[in-house]
Structure 1
């Protein structure tokens, strides 16, 4: 089972639509369910996809030195990819992660699915919950 917040789904589908006809590929991160203010009715340690990292951040350093500055260490065990002209499945062109969310047009909930790195479809649950506020201090 893969859990994702409604807000993240909406942003990812908007990113994919805005990028069309190009593909979208962003790193996702999670927040443990127990850190949410609301009771999500799932285990406290259950990861919930809540955030993404901008794909262009740190691109110059990554291109020269092979260091990905866009993704904090220990984060990014999931990815979102869009297939504007493709099928709702993981392909050989996709960057793989433990969980891969794939979207196709018409960029709606029904055209979004979760897969493991082998391409096996996973159950996806969208939660109407806001992740906890983060501080930069």
Structure 2
């Protein structure tokens, strides 16, 4: 997701959407704030009938990774360099829109109770079209 993606439709996997809603419900009354990453359509085995370069939000980076270094030096080691240009936020007490207190990214997914829907916004708070796709990202493994 780059600044060039702003204003266009946003795509996310159903698995990611479901995970985010579950995490928001489990964390209530606390807020959730996690970094998201995308997989290009070309990397999916399922034909999504989209341009192969289209990013589909598919992964989440949990904030616990690299937390000690981040707390001391302000460097987030939990998110690989160059990734995380999208973010998920939950607002347990509302509103169903971005606020000045929110951490922003090129694309922000947001959920509010009753945790049934995810909304998408650009960094300026304009709502974007979100399409949930029924596809699993490729399985990743560490090199040996």
What's the TM-score bracket when you normalise by the shorter of the two chains?
A: over 0.9
Return the TM-score normalized by structure 2. 0.92
Q: Which runs of 4+ in 1 moved over 4 A?
A: none
* 3-state DSSP of counterpart to 2:72: helix
Q: Aligned match of 2:41 in 11, 20, 33? A: 33
Offset from partner CA, 1:40-61 (integer Å, 9 cap, x none): 0110000000000011211111
Segments of structure 2 that go 5 or more residues without pairing to the other structure are: 1-8
Q: Distance in 2 between matches of 1:82 and 1:56?
A: 17
* 3-state DSSP of counterpart to 1:44: coil
Q: Aligned match of 1:120 in 123, 126, 129? A: 126
Look up the match of 2:20: 12
Alignment of 1:1-137 (within 5 A): 1-109=9-117, 112-137=118-143
Of the structure 1 ranges 44-53 and 85-94, higher mean CA displacement relative to structure 2 is found in: 85-94
- Provide the aligned length of Structure 1 versus Structure 2: 135
Q: Distance in 2 between matches of 1:50 and 1:90?
A: 22
Q: Distance in 2 between matches of 1:100 and 1:131?
A: 20
Q: Distance in 1 between matches of 2:109 and 2:64?
A: 19
